[in-house]
Amino acid sequence: MRRLSGMDSILFYDIKEYERPLFEAYNGGAFLFDYTESKLDEKTVALAKGYGAVCIFVNDAAGGAVIRKLKEYGVGLVALRCSGFNNVDMAAAEQCGVRVMRVPAYSPYSVAEHAMAMLLTLNRKIHKAYIRTRDFNFSLNHLIGFDLHGKTAGVVGTGRIGRTFIGICQGFGMRVLCHDVRPDPAAGLEYAPMEQLLAESDVISLHCPLTEDTRYIIGKKAFSRMKEGCILINTSRGGLIDSEALLDALLSGKLGGACLDVYEEEAGLFYEDKSVTGVQDELLSLIVSRPNVIVTSHQAYLTKEALDEITRTTLANFRAFFGKNAEKA
């Protein structure tokens, strides 16, 4: 794998086949890149010996022990190819003097549009109709949905992605209730307490980061307060939802459906082909098997525009850290 080590050399963990060509094209020889499909964790951290930086993704695990090893190996930068940093022990990084940089924003449209696409697919049973018509079954039985127009959407988190999703919902003629730990009074949004949002929303979409305060923000109590038949969408982080409580809500009929692009135990599963071996996660298997659930594998960000911006911003982070004066791609 390694061609050469040095202070301005960077090891990419968990690299995807669609990422490498972009980084090579935009790099222009400014940095030495090496790649591994392995995820960063305590077992693979030794691969980083001799590199000045590592570049990681959403399911790499940069806990305290890993950060300390990176420091020991001479790694000065952990660069994330994503906006969330819940997989990095920030306190350990600060203590060790390891810099952490991320991509704070890329394309809010990619995630927001995917969230709406999942909602439309589940509500109007498009995925089921597609399978039927491929077998020349043109029956409309059990394909009834409901109008989004006039319904209430609850949006948890009103950052760039949340606001983009709000705009899409408003375009469908929906009322939007919002909840955020830092509400923006100048945004012209209808903010509400979480209890009201849960009780009044026909659709709830999560667009907040995963922190100690937001972990399991949707759990047993939240499901009990939801409107009967509500549809839940999560394109943020799996740990926002208690998966066992989610399954109970689906089985009881309390929840009308779920659109999940993330899962709390997705590491080692999402982005991998498990069609031959299957999965050992019984809870995920049960959730996926429900007829009113759609799961995509952390795909919401995956547009050309988002990948381009992620690449450019990550390279800008490299330049800032290493002090490169190379022209921006």
| Tokens 């301005």 belong to residue | 8
Q: Please, what sign has the CA dihedral across residues 257, 260, 264, 270?
A: positive
Residue-wise pLDDT tens digits, 108-118: 999 999 999 99
Tokens of 140: 């409309």
d(C-alpha 73, C-alpha 62), whole Å: 14
Query: What architecture does CATH give domain 6-106+304-322?
Result: 3-Layer(aba) Sandwich (3.40)
In the residue annotation, 190 being an active-site residue is answered as no
Q: What share of the chain is helix, strand, coil (3-state, %, to 5)?
A: 35, 15, 45
Q: Is the pLDDT of residue 300 over 50?
A: yes
Q: Is 243 helix (H, G, I), strand (E, B) or coil?
A: helix
**Residue 88, strand partner residues:** 62
Which of 298, 305, 309, 319 is catalytic? The answer is 298
- Tell me which of 3.40.50.720, 3.30.390.30, 3.20.20.70, 2.60.120.560 is the CATH number of domain 108-295: 3.40.50.720
pLDDT at 6: 53
Alpha helical stretches, state H, the chain: 20-27, 64-72, 90-96, 108-123, 126-134, 160-171, 194-200, 220-225, 243-252, 282-289, 304-322
What percentage of the chain carries pLDDT values higher than 90? Answer: 92
d(C-alpha 31, C-alpha 323), whole Å: 11
Residue-wise pLDDT tens digits, 220-274: 999 999 999 999 999 999 999 999 999 999 999 999 999 999 999 998 899 899 9
d(C-alpha 316, C-alpha 320), whole Å: 6
Q: Is the pLDDT of residue 325 over 50?
A: no
Which of 114, 163, 237, 264 is catalytic? The answer is 237
45 secondary structure, DSSP code: G
pLDDT at 267: 86
Q: Is the pLDDT of residue 144 over 70?
A: yes
Domain with CATH 3.40.50.720 in the chain: 6-106+304-322, 108-295
| CA angle (58 as vertex; 187, 296 as ends), nearest 5 | 80
In the residue annotation, 237 being an active-site residue is answered as yes
44 secondary structure, DSSP code: T
In the residue annotation, 225 being an active-site residue is answered as no
d(C-alpha 236, C-alpha 233), whole Å: 9
Which of 264, 266, 272, 290 is catalytic? The answer is 266
CB within 8 Å of 38: residues ≥ 6 apart:
13, 14, 44, 47
| CA angle (33 as vertex; 31, 34 as ends), nearest 5 | 160
Residue-wise pLDDT tens digits, 50-64: 999 999 999 999 999
